[in-house]
């Protein structure tokens, strides 16, 4: 499902914090991929453990 074109794509006052945990990050991988395909960005992005890998993917624009 595509978002409506009038939907904001950049959220400068919102931080995306990505949790760690191997099993939980299978969900996070799909979410990051969706954010990238929709062109959604945030003012700050960070993660811990497995979430740090997803942070790098998100910031580099590389789908998981």
41 token code pair? 């960005």
How far apart are the C-alpha atoms of 5 and 51, rounded to whole Å? 29
Cβ atoms < 10 Å from Cβ of 49: 12
pTM value? 0.81
Sequence ranges of the domains in the chain: 17-60
Quick one: average pLDDT of 60-64? Answer: 85
Which residue has tokens 């960070």? 46
- What is the tens place of the pLDDT at every residue in 25-59? 889 999 999 999 999 999 999 999 999 999 999 99
47 against 64, higher pLDDT: 47
Instruction: Let me know: does 51 contact 15? Beta carbons within 8 Å.
Output: no
User: What pLDDT shows up at residue 32?
Assistant: 94
């Amino acid at each position: 499902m595509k978002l409506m074109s009038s939907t904001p794509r950049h959220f400068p006052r919102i931080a995306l914090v990505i949790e760690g945990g191997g099993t939980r990050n299978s969900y996070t991988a799909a979410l990051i991929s969706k954010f990238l395909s929709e062109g959604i960005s945030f003012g700050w992005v960070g993660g811990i453990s497995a979430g740090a890998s997803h942070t790098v993917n998100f910031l580099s624009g590389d789908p998981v």
